[in-house]
Structure 1
């Protein structure tokens, strides 16, 4: 792994962690397409999943009083159901197709999440379970669970403060499921993992991003943070799709 790859990865993780502290989401959307380009799709998403475990845990400590544990406990078993078939898909797909899947998921998710007009109000445990399954599948296959959760929050009219807080343990646990299932089915092996010293760097970078996000939270709006996340994620998703298509060609 070259110094250039490490530096770009650190910048992406720093930005994603900052945006996640500001708005509740951001790590997956920003980091997944960038790391997929730098490290290859399977390993890039694996490292993204590892990053969401760290960021979700650390941010959760700051917002834990606002977490809706009832919804979290519905999300979790359903997320595992989504993670298992996604891990097998990652194992079987070629790198080119994985790039296309990751980039397409990011782009389609952005369009659905931020381009969808007001949706009907639906409040049910079934919808919560479906969001957990879809989120678990997308997180494991593409490193991007946030859009499924944001769509669910729109349907359920979930308060932003509680939603952002609850997403932290949710993303943390989904990340654990994603890492565990992919190691279990052989979609990612121990030999393929990046050098051990990258993981302490990820932790330090996430801590830095959280601190920057907390500082910026008093100075910029959530809408501004989301626009930045959308722009960065859209660019990364488009480039990832293009790379996959070129690999096929």
Structure 2
């Protein structure tokens, strides 16, 4: 990524991701991770997605922590913590073209599964929480997209949107903190970090304002459409480098 134009594009991507996350409760990584990976490469792109998703989740959690259900989230978070190191190992050892293609496949598949609202007995109860958490931790650390597995668990457990959003924000803080502790922070310049902070704050405000004007269904449609486009672009970029 070179010069102010690259940093500005990076800021716009983070702004968009933060806006949709604050609007729909999920979506930062689905929308932003593929583009960040294309701009910064797999390592810095994924770790920046982890950092930004943690930050925007923390902002949302500050206003909704009273609705969190820690006991329900504990199996998810514990299972995720166990698989985050494996995801970090994958990200560190797989060659870049293969990793780009893999990230593209994961993002595309995750978006399609959420669109279909897959129902499965394996995604219910404590066992379902462990399966979802383990899958999410691996995907979050390797590709920056841990949310869809948790979303599918919530759908199969019958959670309402009001129940899902605050708990997803808690999960986002915890799993991304584990991922960053394993891999470290992305290597950005000081001006780029300042731009990221501004974009995250702007996205939090914009998402909150839009939430009163845009239906949840429409917001999720936009999120998942952008995720599909980004996932397919990343896959093509990876395959072209093989």
TM over 0.5: yes
* Equivalent in the alignment of 1:140: 141
1:169 to 1:122, Cα distance in 2 relative to 1, 3 A? closer
Q: Could you tell me how far apart the structure 2 residues matched to 1:76 and 1:202 are?
A: 26
1:118 to 1:53, Cα distance in 2 relative to 1, 3 A? closer
Q: CA deviation at 1:239?
A: 0.7
* Equivalent in the alignment of 2:193: 199
The answer to whether the 8 Å contact 1:21/1:210 transfers is yes
Q: CA deviation at 1:123?
A: 3.8
The answer for unaligned runs of 5 or more in structure 1 is: 184-189
* Equivalent in the alignment of 1:208: 202
The answer for unaligned runs of 5 or more in structure 2 is: none
Question: What is the count of residue pairs matched by the alignment?
Answer: 241
1:42 to 1:204, Cα distance in 2 relative to 1, 3 A? same
1:120 to 1:84, Cα distance in 2 relative to 1, 3 A? closer
* Equivalent in the alignment of 2:18: 17
1:85 to 1:122, Cα distance in 2 relative to 1, 3 A? closer
The answer to whether the 8 Å contact 1:88/1:182 transfers is no
Q: CA deviation at 1:119?
A: 5.0
1:61 to 1:138, Cα distance in 2 relative to 1, 3 A? same
Instruction: Map 1:23-38 onto structure 2 (within 5 A).
Output: 23-38=24-39
Q: Could you tell me how far apart the structure 1 residues matched to 2:43 and 2:123 are?
A: 35
TM-score, normalising length: structure 1: 0.91
1:169 to 1:203, Cα distance in 2 relative to 1, 3 A? farther
The answer to whether the 8 Å contact 1:42/1:95 transfers is no
1:87 aligns with 2:88: yes
TM-score, normalising length: structure 2: 0.94
* Equivalent in the alignment of 2:217: 223
The answer to whether the 8 Å contact 2:117/2:155 transfers is no
1:121 to 1:74, Cα distance in 2 relative to 1, 3 A? closer
Q: CA deviation at 1:122?
A: 6.0
The answer to whether the 8 Å contact 1:16/1:27 transfers is yes
